[in-house]
Amino acid sequence: MTKRKFGLGLSLVLAAGTILGACGASDEEASKTVDEGAKKEATDFSIAMVTDTGGVDDKSFNQSAWEGIEAFGKENGLEKGTGGYDYLISTSDADYVTNLNSLARRDFDVVYGVGYLLEEPIGTIADQKPDAQFAIIDAIVDKPNVASAMFKEQEGSYLAGVAAALMSDSKKIGFVGGMESEVIGRFEAGFIEGVKAIDPNIEVDVQYLASFSDASLGKTTANRMYSSGVDIIFPAAGAAGNGVFAEAKERKTKDANANVWVIGVDSDQYEEGAVGDTNITLTSMVKRVDLAVQNIANEAMAGNFPGGKTVTYGVAEEGVVLADSRGAIPQEVLDQIQEYSDKIASGEIVVPETVE
C-alpha cells in the first residue's frame, strides 16, 4: 500500500551562516573558514522553552516543541544547557512566570512558552524584560518582543473525524478533551464536523478531563467509552491522553480481536500504540509545533525575529497533517480523506472553530 501523509510538513527557512573568505585562500581553506564562521554564529545563539504542566515527555504537544528545539540545536552545533538549548518543566501554574524569568536571566536569545496556559505569564514577563525575545505557542500575545504561533487545529481534526467515520464499525466514536478552552474547542469542533460530513447519524461521545496530566483519568474515561461500544477515540488531552492509549492497549493485549483504536494528537503517536506485533494507533493529527519552533528560531538567528507578529498554520500551510497510517487505513479510504484535505486547502470547505 502507498504510504501517505496529508499536507506533509512545513518548509524550514534556514538562516545562512556568515561567509568569511580570505583573499588568495584555497577552496579547501575558504570552505573551512565558512564552516568555522557558521559554527561560531550558531554557537552564539541559544533557545529554550517552558512546558505547561503536561511535561516535556508528554508524547504530544510539549514533546513536539522540545523535538523542534533539539533539532535546531543539533543542526546548529549547540549543546544542551545555558548558551545552547534547554527547557524547564512546569509542575503547576505557579511555575510559569518563575521559569520564564529564569530562562530570560540565563540570556537565551529566544524563550518559548508552550501552550495557551502561558499566555498571561508570557505577557507579564515580556513587559518586565522588554529587551528579551519570547515566543508563545497556541496563543497571541500582542507585544513587540513576542512572536506568536497559532494553528488551525479544527482543520486537521476535521480530517481525523473523516478518517474515524470512514473506519468505525460500531458508528460510535469518542472525543476526549483535556481542559476546556478555545484551543481544545477547535479540536472538538473540527473532529465532529469531519465525522458528520461522512455520516450525521454517527454518535460522538465527548468528555473533558479538566486536566492535561492525569493519565489515570484518561484511562478510566476511555474504559467507559470502549465499554459503551465506542471503537475509535480521539484524545486532545496532552499527557492525560496517554491513558486512552493505555486502556486501548490493555484491551488489545487481553483480546487480539478487540476492535479498539486511538487517533494520536499533536505528534505522530504510532509508537505509543504498539501492542506486540500489532498497533492500535489508527493515525495521528499532527500539529507541526516542532517546525513552527524552528521557523521562529531561524528567523531570530538571522536577525529577523518576528516580534509582534502572529503566524497561523493550517492544512494549506502544511502545519496540521494526518500522519501515515502504516496500513491501518485502506488506500481507498486514504483517497477519500485526501479529497477532503484538498477541499480544505483550497477554501472550498471552511471548518468552524466552535461546535455548532
* Grid cell listed for 285: 493529527
Domains of the chain from N-terminus onward = 27-151+289-313 (3.40.50.2300), 153-286+326-346 (3.40.50.2300)
**Helical residues (DSSP H) of 95-230, grouped into ranges:** 95-105, 119-128, 153-167, 182-198, 215-227
What does the pLDDT profile of the chain (356 residues) look like in tens digits?
333 444 433 333 333 333 333 333 444 444 444 344 444 344 589 999 999 888 898 877 899 999 999 999 999 999 999 999 999 999 999 999 999 999 999 999 999 999 999 999 999 999 999 999 999 999 999 999 999 999 999 999 999 999 999 999 999 999 999 999 999 999 999 999 999 999 999 999 999 999 999 999 999 999 999 999 999 999 999 899 999 999 999 999 999 999 999 999 998 999 999 999 999 999 999 999 998 999 999 999 999 999 999 999 999 999 999 999 999 999 999 999 999 999 999 999 999 999 97
Classify residue 323 by its DSSP letter. P
- Which burial class, exposed, middle or buried, applies to 338 when counting CB atoms under 10 A from its CB (0-12, 13-18, 19+)? middle
The SS3 assignment for 142 reads coil
The SS3 assignment for 207 reads strand
The pTM of this model reads: 0.82
Taking residue 169's Cβ as centre, other Cβ atoms within 10 Å add up to 10
Tell me the CB-side half-sphere exposure of residue 121, using CA atoms within 13 A: 27
- Say how many residues make up the chain: 356
- Mark 74-89 as b/e (b = at least 16 C-beta within 10 Å): eebebeeeebbbbbbb
